[in-house]
Structure 1
Amino acid sequence: MAVTDEAIDRIKEMIVSGELRPGDKLPKEADLATKLGLSRNSLREAVKALSLIQILDVRQGDGTYVTSLEPGLLMGAIAFVVDFHHDRSVLDFLQVRRILEPAATALAATRIDAAGIAELRGLAQVDEPRPSTERLIEQDLRFHRAIAGFSGNPVLCSLLDSLSSPTMRARHWRGLTQSGSWERTVREHQAIVDALESGDAEAARAWSTAHIAGVEQWLRKVA
């Protein structure tokens, strides 16, 4: 194991064991290096690596702290990697989305309240006579993000949010090239909301699966 990797593992152990908790300040570099039996250079490299994935927060002139470790913060590293994937790999992301989003939608059916249904009803409608593709995509993203939020699972919500970037390009392409795609999207969104309002988790799951599968099937034909 590389020395830097060992240093990363040692800091990870301190966090997992509870010796270091969210918001805690790490000991001074020299003291921590001595405690862990590491060189200051390897410790410094480990801190740098852990700060890149937002496990640690290096504050100039103050010290290094454990972050909140909230899922939304930690999933940022996944979103960063996802942004580098293009072309046919978007199908892989759509497959993952087809697995995760119906599960989130089914959870939302058991937890959403009347205010949430009203919010989704608004996001499922297109009031403008000729909205731009960009406007429709923005509303589509807000609709799906809201459903994930109503699942009540912050990890699932963050994972789905990280998948938005590559699949958004596919949605934009479909909106520009496939006739009637947005009308179909609106109908499917409304069917999802109907299922959520009735509290029917399996119907909500089924509509969500069909909705995402439609984009995936179209992309397989044209890619």
Structure 2
Amino acid sequence: MGSVAADAEEKVKELIVEQGLGPGDPLPTETELMERFGVSRNSLREALKSLQAMHIVEIRRGFGTYVGTMSLEPMTEAMAFRTVVGHRRGHGSLLELLQLREALEAGLMHRLAGRLPEEDLAELDGLVETMHTEVRESGEIASRTDRAFHRTLHRSLGNDLLSEVLDAFWSAFHRVRAQAQGLGAAADGEELARMHAAIVEAVRAGNPEAAETAVHRHFDDIRSRLSQH
């Protein structure tokens, strides 16, 4: 990207911040932005395209430009790709990603144990039930069920950034597993469902140490299957 376009990109970001704009809010027209920043249409379009790739703006053909969702999708994409590349070159990049998830998930148990609202616990029970059913019917837990479990577990913290980062790590990890063939032995679905149940049990009982141990056990299981690869 040319330095003029890169400069325009920074100016658009500054404008969003200074005007207190949020996702879905309209930005000034291309012509207004060109005049405001003193740049050509080409440079501005290059800047907007780059910002769209980062989900900072959303260009709606025929309607104008709006503030984007600012989702962490580009980070997930970058993390997954970096991990796949490292994995193919024989680096322990998938284990690094696993370690990152484990540190966060285990570290949160002290804030979650004994504090989960009843409806969240009920939902987690339901998801564990679904896991058992899926294992009986297809031999494995559906990834959407696993993802829903992890999302529900942290929902009560009411921290959107934390939830989104954890979800991004989950997503990157599963994307890598799908792309890097022959990754370790298949999970024992029943055992995996029981591990999730153990996390719920410890959180319900208000026992952070047991909850932390259950999280580590869950990750040890994934780790041992990866190292068999």
Higher relative contact order (CA 8 A, sep 6+): 1
Contact 2:140–2:189 under 8 Å retained in 1:
no
Q: Distance in 1 between matches of 2:142 and 2:24?
A: 40
Q: Which residue of 2 aligns with 1:53?
A: 54
Aligned pairs for 1:46-85 (under 5 A) are 46-69=47-70, 74-84=71-81, 85=83
How far did residue 153 of structure 1 move? Answer: 1.7
Paired amino acid for 2:206 = G
TM-score (norm 1): 0.80
Alignment CA distance shift 1:25-1:165 (3 Å): closer
Aligned length: 214
Give per-residue Cα distances to partners, 1:83-137, cap 9 Å, x unaligned. Answer: 4342342212111111222234443336421111111112223146733244454
Contact 1:105–1:148 under 8 Å retained in 2:
no
Paired amino acid for 1:78 = M
Structure 2 unaligned residues grouped into runs of 5+: none
Alignment CA distance shift 1:53-1:104 (3 Å): farther
Aligned pairs for 1:69-108 (under 5 A) are 69=70, 74-84=71-81, 85-86=83-84, 87=87, 88-108=92-112
Contact 1:111–1:152 under 8 Å retained in 2:
no
What is the identity percentage for the equivalent residue pairs of Structure 1 and Structure 2?
A: 36
Paired amino acid for 2:41 = R
Alignment CA distance shift 1:134-1:128 (3 Å): closer
Paired amino acid for 2:163 = C
How far did residue 155 of structure 1 move? Answer: 1.4
Contact 1:101–1:208 under 8 Å retained in 2:
yes
Q: Which residue of 2 aligns with 1:159?
A: 165
Contact 2:26–2:67 under 8 Å retained in 1:
yes
